[in-house]
Amino acid sequence: MKKELTPLQREVMLKKATEQPFTGRLLENKESGDYLCANCGAKLFPSNSKFNSGTGWPSFDSAFPNSIKLEEDNSLGMPRTEVICSNCGIHLGHLFNDGPTKTGKRFCINDCTLDFNKEGR
C-alpha cells in the first residue's frame, strides 16, 4: 500500500466516493502502456483497451486477467457492479454493460486510482 494517499484518493479508494468528471490527468492520455493501481502498482488495464466514453472518467473495455474483482453494489438504490483491485482491495470504479466495443463492457474508473506506465519504461 502507498504510504501517503491524497485526500481525494482516500475518499475514492477507501470510502468508495467518486471523483468529479473531466478532472483527471489520465483522461486524455493516448500513450501506449499499462494502467496501474495507484495504491499498490498492480497492472490493471492495457492502454489498447481504453476508449473515450464521453463520461469524464477513463473507460476501458477489458482488464488484465485476474487484475480486478467485481462485487455487487446497491449503495445508490440501484444495482451496479463495483470494480476492485484484486491485489490490494481498493475501490476503482464501476462496470457497466453499455460499452461501444465488441466486449460491450465499460469499466468506468476513477482517474485518481490509476497510475500509468508508458510502454518501454
CA distance linking residue 120 with residue 105, whole number of Å: 28
As a whole number, mean pLDDT of residues 10-14 equals: 97
Catalytic residue positions, numbered: 108
Residue 18 falls inside a structural domain: yes
Q: How many CB atoms lie within 10 A of CB 12?
A: 23
Residue 73 falls inside a structural domain: yes
Residue 2 falls inside a structural domain: no
For position 91, which CATH number holds? Answer: 2.170.150.20
Model pLDDT, residue 98: 94
What are the pLDDT digits (tens) for 22-38?
Answer: 999 999 999 999 999 99
Structural domain range at position 48: 7-118
Q: Are 47 and 120 in contact (CB under 8 A)?
A: no
The arrangement of strands across the sheet holding 114-118 comes to 43-46, 33-37, 114-118
Model pLDDT, residue 79: 87
- With H, G, I as helix, E, B as strand and everything else as coil, classify residue 47: helix
Model pLDDT, residue 121: 62
Q: Domain count of the chain?
A: 1
DSSP secondary structure code for residue 22 in this structure: T
Residue 87 falls inside a structural domain: yes
Residue 85 falls inside a structural domain: yes
CA distance linking residue 69 with residue 107, whole number of Å: 12
Mean predicted lDDT score pLDDT of the chain:
94
Model pLDDT, residue 3: 63
